[in-house]
Amino acid sequence: MAFIHTPNASASEKTTSMYASAEANYGYLPNMYRAFGHRPEVMESWAALLSSIRSHMSLRRYELVTLAAAKELKSSYCMLAHGSVLLREGFTSDGLTAVVNETDKAPIDAGERAIMAFAAKVARDATSVTQQDIDGLKKHGLSDADVFDVTAAAAARCFFSKMLDALGAAPDHAYIERLEPNVRKTLSVGREVERPLAPSPSRGTSQ
């Protein structure tokens, strides 16, 4: 699952609590939580930062910004996770695919296109951002505070996506079960989804 050994649930009280909470929420223990098993307090701080950023944005805007940044970072894990949220929030499979592929059929407006392009630029090379980029967002009705929020969401994604990929955390096998193959393929821009372990030969399988 990862390039480093990930501790089991009994490693520490905080790790035990983090794992238990994640399992209760997801129905399984996601690899991203295992990756933070040595430092559960970092995951706790990340969650608090994320909560403060999201509290000032609509869910739709936050997810589109995150998707754009994750695509630029080639993070399959974050693409699959946040693409799944957009599907739950009303996007069709075709609509989400169009958004990821940046086609004219994408069900987003001009302002959202501009926001996603800006988020991608922040993730790709923040030093390339200019006053013109900011002014372009303002033409779509964003305030200075809105620009801050979009920037914060894109910049924060750099931390999490890079942590997971650098530690070798593969996207959870649950995405194989929960997403259509074509959607999963579109969202898998980097590491492949973790495959379920094959049944042990000693246990056998029913024929």
- One-letter amino acid of 85: V
Please provide the distance, in angstroms rounded to a whole number, between the alpha carbons at the two ends of the chain: 29
What is the pLDDT averaged over residues 37-53?
97
- pLDDT at residue 202, rounded to an integer: 39
Place of tokens 């993070």: 75
Encode burial over 93-126: b for 16+ CB neighbours within 10 A, e otherwise.
Answer: eebbbbbbeeeeebebeeebbbbbebbbbbbeee
Q: Over pLDDT 70: what percentage of the chain?
A: 94
CA 77 centroid distance within chain: 6
Residue in 74, 55, 51, 54 with CA at minimum distance from that of residue 64: 54
- pLDDT at residue 196, rounded to an integer: 65
What is the pLDDT averaged over residues 117-126?
98
In angstroms, the CA 200 to CA 148 distance is: 51
Residue in 102, 107, 71, 70 with CA at minimum distance from that of residue 89: 107
Q: What is the DSSP letter of 114?
A: H
3-state secondary structure of 50: helix
Please state, rounded to an integer, the average pLDDT across all residues of the chain. 93
What is the pLDDT averaged over residues 11-18?
93
172 and 193 in contact (C-beta within 8 Å)? yes
Q: Could you report the per-residue pLDDT of 133-159, keeping only the tens digit for each?
A: 999 999 999 999 999 999 999 999 999
Looking at the chain, list the stretches that DSSP marks H as alpha helix, in order from N- to C-terminal side.
Answer: 13-26, 31-35, 40-54, 59-72, 76-88, 93-100, 110-125, 131-138, 144-166, 174-178, 181-187
What is the pLDDT averaged over residues 45-51?
98
- pLDDT at residue 9, rounded to an integer: 78
pTM, two decimal places: 0.91
